[in-house]
Amino acid sequence: MAPRYILTPDVKTYSEQLYECADRCQFNLTSKYVTKKENGRDVHEYYFIINGTSYAQYKGVSTSKLKDAKNEAAGLIIDSGTL
């Protein structure tokens, strides 16, 4: 399997695949999230930091779950071809 082989999200979530890719390819993957109130609802914003470089332009946003924002951010990074 190629080091950056990505499956469709119905097999594994994008965030799981991104962490596996970080392990295989030996890059430092961290993340940051912010939860704030907007119109009485929690809004979760999530983005990844790869080798010390912040990828806030690929920010996942969700009004339901932090997990959804995390998967959206991972999907944006994977789809962008950054890896």
Residue 52 main-chain phi, psi, to 5 deg: 85, -5
pLDDT digits (tens, 9 = 90+) for 27-64: 999 999 999 999 999 999 999 999 999 999 999 999 99
User: For residues 30 and 48, is the Cβ–Cβ distance under 8 A?
Assistant: yes
Residue 16 to residue 14: CA distance in whole angstroms:
5
Q: Sort strands 53-54 and 29-38 into parallel, antiparallel or unpaired.
A: unpaired
**What are the boundaries of each domain within the chain?**
31-80
Mean pLDDT across the stretch 9-23?
86
| pLDDT band at residue 9 under the 50/70/90 scheme | low
| pLDDT band at residue 8 under the 50/70/90 scheme | low
pTM: 0.84
Residue 26 main-chain phi, psi, to 5 deg: 60, 50
| pLDDT band at residue 2 under the 50/70/90 scheme | very low
